[in-house]
A and B are shown apart, each in its own frame.
Chain A
């Protein structure tokens, strides 16, 4: 069974721009969670989608948004990029919502200059 895939793997953007990241979960998994990982803050939860509905949201500003499609693929968008948004963005898929075992994709490394 194929794992979680994320595209693109690397991205360089300028302050003020916006970016869209994509995640395809493991086949049959309906839950996708997004995380931001930085050296100082560790893994921070952004949001979770299950069956196209946002089930939970972390403490991030409204510039961070996401959505999930009927095939369970998910996208997250960051608008008006700031230097502090430079991070590794990880998505994780799970067979069900909540705290069940989550499997991570390879991540998207975003650099904001």
Chain B
């Protein structure tokens, strides 16, 4: 069973701080990694994708991937109250000849004004 684990939350940070969200995965051959943001009562929204080891930056968001450690993280700089949401980590996994996305259970971030 391919697993995607997200560190337990909820996570609360003050406005302007850096929020660090972590995710580990069990399938060593995974190649694609994604972060989704889900506001309460809404559907998940893709915010970052990363495929290679290292950092990928997009505005205030930075995704970090370390395939050797099977670890992917999302940093949110200058956190805003509008960043308060549940963040889902998703990893591709192979099932036979096909692959699918496996999601972590998510971590809820609260940004305090």
C-alpha spacing A88/B41, complex, angstroms? 10
Task: Determine chain B's interface SS by DSSP, over half rule.
Answer: strand
B90 CB, min distance to chain A CBs, angstroms: 8
The answer to whether A56 and B44 have CB atoms under 8 Å apart is no
A35 CB, min distance to chain B CBs, angstroms: 8
Residues of B within 8 A of A45 (CB): 100-102
Contact for B46 among A58, A103, A107, CB less than 8 A: A103
Residues of B within 8 A of A88 (CB): 43
Q: Is the C-beta of A102 less than 8 angstroms from some C-beta in chain B?
A: yes
Q: Is the C-beta of B45 less than 8 angstroms from some C-beta in chain A?
A: yes
Q: Which of A99-113 contact B (CB under 8 A)?
A: 99-107
Residues of A within 8 A of B100 (CB): 33, 45, 48, 56, 58, 98-99
Q: Is the C-beta of B111 less than 8 angstroms from some C-beta in chain A?
A: no
C-alpha spacing A98/B96, complex, angstroms? 12
18 contacting pairs across A/B (C-beta < 8 A): A43-B44, A43-B103, A55-B98, A56-B95, A88-B43, A90-B44, A98-B99, A98-B100, A99-B32, A99-B99, A100-B32, A101-B34, A102-B34, A103-B46, A104-B36, A104-B43, A104-B45, A106-B42
